[in-house]
Amino acid sequence: MTESNKERLIQYVTQDLPPDARARVEAELRQDEKLRDELLELLLTRDEVRTWATTPAPGVEKTAKLISPTLPARSTHRQARWLRQVVATALVFAMGYAVGNFEGAPSTISRLPSAESGNSTDPQVQLPVTENAHQPVPGATSTPATEASPPASEAEPPVYTRQEDGRVIVQTVLRSSGTRATWIVDGEFRIAQSDSTPQ
Amino acid sequence: MDDSELAAASARGDQEAFTLLFLRHREFVYSVAYKVMLNQDDALDVTQKVFMKLATCIGDFSGRGSFRGWLCTITTNAALSELRRPYRREIVTEPDRLPDQPGREPNPREHAERSERHVMITKAIEQLSPQQRAILLLQCHEDIGPAEIAGRLELKASQVRVQLRRAIVRLREIILKPSRAGEE
């Protein structure tokens, strides 16, 4: 029995051979009785070690004294979620404010978007139909602003409404056109304009 | 619920699920820790530390492979780290005496469970280094080769191969010595 044979057998038993090398060892084993005896001894050793590894250790009954640790508090998760909603809402407001200011403040304001005004073609402002924007949002805890749009010179603060399902409804008035816009923030940073009843 | 489901629930903050995992595996963790450290008090400390760590990193369990195997890796690493601590007592703690040794009254249940051969094998394994025992434990529990063991213990694969080879050869000599003496 050569040392290299013994070495390969140990590698075979400890799963340290690639498939082709394992196949060669197995072919040799079929023909060499001494190699088989050597393998048997190694397998016996391995089995004894496995028995040792899987047998409970002395003193294991003392683990009954141990106490299960407490998981970290869940409130941090809820706070993070609420914080994300607040940040998302603030972003929406900032975007709406920026868009409104970016369009400028014309002296004459057309309440309703029209084809002539060109606002409806502005890619940054895809406005819903104005009359739907005046409908109260179901489930909202605050009443939207009154039907009459304020003059552009007066800045109407946005109205935030948090729904029970966690979504935030933001209603703003674009300064340039006086058009109302409704933004829905659903907590996943999706911004959806809806002129229909939220779900 | 199986371990993967309990782990997922624990990651979501389910204390009950985590406690169930703790109760289910605390003896296993202790046994692994003891077999590396060979000291009951140290093994209990490591067991508590492992579960405290698990409470914060339970979400790291990917679900691939067995939860117990993952736990075995964490425990062996924790036990080896504990043994490597620089301010650890220099006095080497004697391994706990096995049953039927002088100075300890054998527990009848333990005595029944342990054959003479098992005692001999345990003594032989306890003569190996902690690292060799950790390697053997991972291989027995996870059925993995030296390369993967090296990854889990953050060792070089060549180092693991050498340690494993030495352990197997040494144990074979000890385990087979009485039978060979009988043949002569």
> What ipTM was predicted for this assembly?
0.80
Please name the helix (run of DSSP H) or strand (run of DSSP E) that holds residue A184, with its range, or none: strand A180-185
The alpha carbon of B122 is separated from its chain's Cα centroid by a whole number of angstroms, namely 13
Q: Rg of chain A over CA atoms, in angstroms?
A: 37
For A138-148, how does the pLDDT look when each residue is reduced to its tens digit (9 = 90+)? 444 444 444 44
CB B19 within 8 Å of CB B8:
no
- Write out the H or E segment, with its range, that includes residue B89: none
State percent of chain B over pLDDT 90. Answer: 55
Strand positions, DSSP E, B29-69: none
- By Cβ distance, the residue of A15, A49, A63 closest to B125 is A49
Q: Which residue from A53, A59, A71 is facing B10, i.e. has the nearest CB? A: A71
Q: A13 and B168: CB-CB below 8 Å?
A: yes
CA atoms within 13 A on the CB side of B16: 1
Q: How far, in Å, are A56, A132, B44, B124 from residue B104 at the CA level?
A: 19, 87, 21, 20
Torsion-angle region of A118 (φ positive above 0: left; ψ -120 to 50: alpha; else: beta): left
Number of residues written out for chain A: 199
Cα separations in angstroms, A97 against A92, A101, A131, A181, B18: 8, 6, 21, 11, 47
| Residue B96 to residue A16, Cβ atoms within 8 A | no
B10: how many CB neighbours lie within 10 A of its CB?
Answer: 23
Whole-prediction pTM value? 0.61
Q: Is the dihedral of CA A46, B132, B168, B106 positive or negative?
A: negative
Q: What is the pLDDT of residues A90-119, one digit of tens each?
A: 888 888 877 777 655 554 444 444 444 444
What is the distance in angstroms between the Cα of B105 and the nearest Cα belonging to chain A? 14
Sort strands A191-193 and A180-185 into parallel, antiparallel or unpaired: antiparallel
pLDDT, tens digit (0-9, with 9 covering 90-100), for B42-90: 999 999 999 999 999 988 888 778 899 999 999 999 999 999 887 665 4
Please identify every stretch of chain B with a pLDDT value under 50, giving residue numbers as ranges: 90-94, 97-104, 181-184
